[in-house]
């Protein structure tokens, strides 16, 4: 299925700044309201249903024999028709 990027933002942030963004997302999800992403003149509003697929991925990219780039990705995914998702793995723990 082709992918269409509706919104994208990438910038250097401190850990504290990122935590603030994540808290805002968490609050919006808990309140059940839509999320509006804005940077400059671009804006995108999304309204996740009560149940979504939540994917957490830790990756390392780069040469096997040397230092690479590490990342943690958090993704919320749902069907556009608003239907929820099924559980795929056991419960996630973040410590």
pLDDT of residue 2: 86
pTM over 0.85: no
Please say whether the beta carbons of 57 and 75 come within 8 A: yes
pLDDT of residue 53: 92
Low-confidence ranges of the chain (pLDDT < 70): 82-88
Predicted confidence (pLDDT) per residue in 12-34, tens digit: 999 999 999 999 999 999 999 99
Name the one residue in this structure whose structure tokens are 């998702």: 85
Buried b (16+ CB within 10 A) or exposed e, 60-94: eeeeeeeeeeeeeeeeeebeeeeeeeeeeeeeeee
Cα 6 to Cα 20: distance, rounded to the nearest angstrom? 23
Please enumerate in sequence order all residues whose Cβ is within 8 A of that of 36, keeping only pairs 6 or more positions apart, or say none.
Answer: 43, 44, 45
pLDDT of residue 93: 83
Name the one residue in this structure whose structure tokens are 């808990």: 30
pLDDT of residue 83: 62
């Amino acid at each position: 299925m082709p992918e269409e990027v509706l919104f994208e933002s990438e910038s250097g942030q401190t850990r504290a700044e990122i935590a603030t963004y994540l808290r805002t997302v968490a609050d919006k999800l808990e309140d059940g309201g839509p999320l509006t992403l804005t940077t400059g003149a671009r804006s995108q509003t999304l309204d996740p249903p009560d149940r979504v697929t939540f994917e957490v991925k830790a990756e390392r990219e780069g040469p096997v024999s040397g230092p690479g780039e590490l990342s943690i990705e958090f993704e919320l995914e749902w069907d556009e028709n608003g239907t929820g998702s099924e559980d795929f793995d056991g419960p996630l723990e973040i410590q």
